[in-house]
Amino acid sequence: MTQTYISDIAAQAGETVELRGWLYNFRSSGKLKFLLLRDGTGIIQCVLSKKEAPDAVWEASETLAQETALILRGKVNQDDRAPGGFEIWLSDLQIVGASVDYPITLKEHGDAFLLDNRHLWIRSKKQHAVLRVRHQVIKAIRDFLDDRGFINFDAPILTPNASEGTTTLFKIDYFGENAYLSQSGQLYQEPGCAAFGKTYCFGPTFRAEKSKTRKHLTEFWMVEPEVAFMELPELMELAEDFICFIVNRALDRCQPDLEVLERDLEPLKRVQKPFPRMHYNDASKLLRDKGLPFTHGDDFGAPDEEAITAGSDRPVIVHRFPAAIKAFYMKPDPVDPTLSLSMDVLAPEGYGEIIGGSQREDDLKVLEEKIHEHKLPREAFEWYLDVRRYGTFPHSGFGMGLERTVSWICGIHHIREAIPFPRMIHRLKP
């Protein structure tokens, strides 16, 4: 018999089907056993009756335990009282793989224990839902960019240079030379957009973040579009359209998963254009007016971001951060050169920065000076300077953190649950 997936069960009402999966939970009431089977696409209740099942099948069912791998056969019965509206009346049960003392039971476990057992924890309902949303968000990201004519242009992970400051670099020995794990694929998108007009990379990036917060991973995924001849105002529009598309897609395709997560959908439905834009100077003033201990010129901390988004039901775009706290490649604001043509998108509901981007410095001389000022090794950037030597052009781009975006859409507290196997300062396993 061919396998039927639980997600397709409605089409098989009244038929006898074969399901393959794992025992999620079970209970017995004397002559009836209720098995909850999960197969990755869903969970369904299966009923085994002592009276109707062959003796061998009933006997086999006596050894069932949580997460036993099973092949089950039975008739699909539509029943509104059953969870999901269907249940299976079993005629056959075959144990494929036993499961002895499965460590994650349905009772509460501590965070450290669950993270140590991440390889099993992903079978649990909520974790499963978050990672399914992640899958849809990834697809939405690619659909949006591909449909707008962007070319997927992969950036290397082993790199000779830093892009986002030298304090969070993971250094490795590359055949006797220093190399670094990529903090961002941006520097490689810039020559990419000179070749293709619009490009993006989407891959893992690495930062040796020593701070333990609920928003920082040391390995996270970032999508980075870069567009030739685009300037800051259009970049903000691109970011806005991008986020609206992704959130809409999640509302469209992830409702069952968001329900499992008990996510309030109303705030997500309010994520619509236009997002408020706030000049850094105005954001700074707002923070001081609210009485926060914020020093003008500094970057925002989590409480600052929360205060900035507090009055808004949609993401807020803060633009023109001080050049001194931003990366070397950002173009200064012609109106006030101590500021940069940069922008961050801050998600509401306390999630904070999900996007960081800027218009890039396109003047060779200025960029050479910046590299010098930031004490970066000039040789490692010669190729990057070539983009300014041979037909320089205004261009802009941003990076969106996948896990922060997924955390926000799912409404989960900690970013570590938005990636299959999180890496943080004190966690390198499993």
Binding letters toward Mg ion, positions 338-357, x by CB under 5 A: ------------------x-
Whole-angstrom Cα distance, residue 351 to residue 191? 32
Which member of 186, 309, 340, 359 binds ligand 4AD (CB under 6 A)?
Answer: 186
What's the min distance (Å) between Cβ of 1 and ligand 4AD? Answer: 45
What is the rounded distance in angstroms from the CA atom of residue 41 to the CA atom of residue 416? 23
Residue (23 or 227) nearer to ligand 4AD, CB: 227
- Rounded to whole angstroms, the Cα distance separating 216 from 132 reads 21
Query: Is 401 near Mg ion (CB under 5 A)?
Result: no
- Residues in CB range of 190: below 8 A, 6 or more apart: 226, 360, 384, 387, 395, 397
* Strands (E) located in 288-429: 316-319, 342-347, 352-359, 395-401
Q: Which is nearer to ligand 4AD, 253 or 423 (CB)?
A: 423
DSSP 325: G
d(C-alpha 333, C-alpha 94), whole Å: 69
Stretch that binds ligand 4AD, among 250-258, 278-286, 294-302, 349-357 (CB under 6 A): 349-357
Q: Which is nearer to Mg ion, 199 or 342 (CB)?
A: 342
Q: Are 387 and 367 in contact (CB under 8 A)?
A: no
Q: Which of 38, 134, 207, 319 binds ligand 4AD (CB under 6 A)?
A: 207
Residue 332, amino acid:
P
In the complex, the smallest distance separating the C-beta of residue 235 from ligand 4AD, rounded to whole angstroms, is: 9
Nearer to Mg ion, 45 or 405 (CB): 405
d(CA 199, CA 184): 14
- Contact between 18 and 1 (Cβ < 8 Å): yes
Angstrom distance (rounded) from CA 189 to CA 242: 18
| Footprint on residues 355-394 left by ligand 4AD (CB under 6 A) | 355-357
CB nearer to Mg ion: pick between 179 and 355: 355
397 near ligand 4AD, rule: CB under 6 A: yes
Segment 303-342, which members bind ligand 4AD (CB under 6 A)? none
Site for ligand 4AD, residues 96 to 115, rule: CB under 6 A: none
Question: Which residue intervals of 148-196 are DSSP H helices?
Answer: 186-196
**How far is the first Cα of the chain from the last one, in angstroms, to the nearest whole number?**
36
- With contacts defined by CB under 6 A, name the span among 103-111, 235-243, 314-322, 396-404 that binds ligand 4AD: 396-404
The contact set with ligand 4AD (CB under 6 A) reads 163-164, 184, 186, 207, 209, 216-217, 220, 222, 224, 353-357, 397-401, 403-404
Which residues in this chain contact Mg ion in the complex, by CB under 5 A? 356
